[in-house]
Amino acid sequence: MAKRVVIVEDEPNIIEAINFILSRDGWDVTVHANGETAVDAVRAVRPDAILLDVMLPGRSGYDILKELRADPDFAALPVLMLTARGQKKDREMADALGVTRFMTKPFSNAELLAVLGEITAGA
């Protein structure tokens, strides 16, 4: 059974690229572009991992991460945060909120797949 991943991202071109890469690698990809409803989507899909953007319309990636971590069901859910704001304090903020991994855009496709495989290895 293919592992499920939810992509929370609002840039259409980036969604298209990641969707292509992950699908090609055998992932079951669900795309969600709206921050406000992202947590609901995660609850519905019950993914094995999330790719979470920081700057989203409606709600920031940090808020979504916070809510997920507050929910026992998702306290240990692997969350790979992707952000174009590559500053140190963004990484610290994400770490503090319990992110599993943090990557700065742009990334290499191979690296993305490797990290995603790594954080979902135990599952």
Phi/psi at 29 (nearest 5 deg)? -100, 130
CB of 122 to other proteins, least distance (A): 27
CB atoms within 10 A of CB 22: 21
Q: C-beta of 25: minimal distance to other proteins in Å?
A: 11
Residue placing its CB nearer to other proteins in the complex, 69 or 109: 109
- The whole-angstrom separation of Cα 116 and Cα 71 is 22
C-beta atoms surrounding 118 within 10 Å:
13
Question: Which CB, 76 or 87, lies closer to other proteins?
Answer: 87
46: left (phi over 0), alpha (psi -120 to 50) or beta: left
Smallest distance, other proteins to C-beta of residue 88, A: 11
Nearer to other proteins, 24 or 46 (CB): 24
Nearest alpha-carbon partner for 68 in 92, 45, 98, 36: 98
Query: Which residues of this chain interact with other proteins, rule CB under 8 A?
Result: 10-14, 16-18, 20-21, 24, 33, 55, 57, 83-87, 90, 104-110
CB of 108 to other proteins, least distance (A): 6
Using the minimum distance from each CB to other proteins, give the nearer residue, 77 or 82: 82
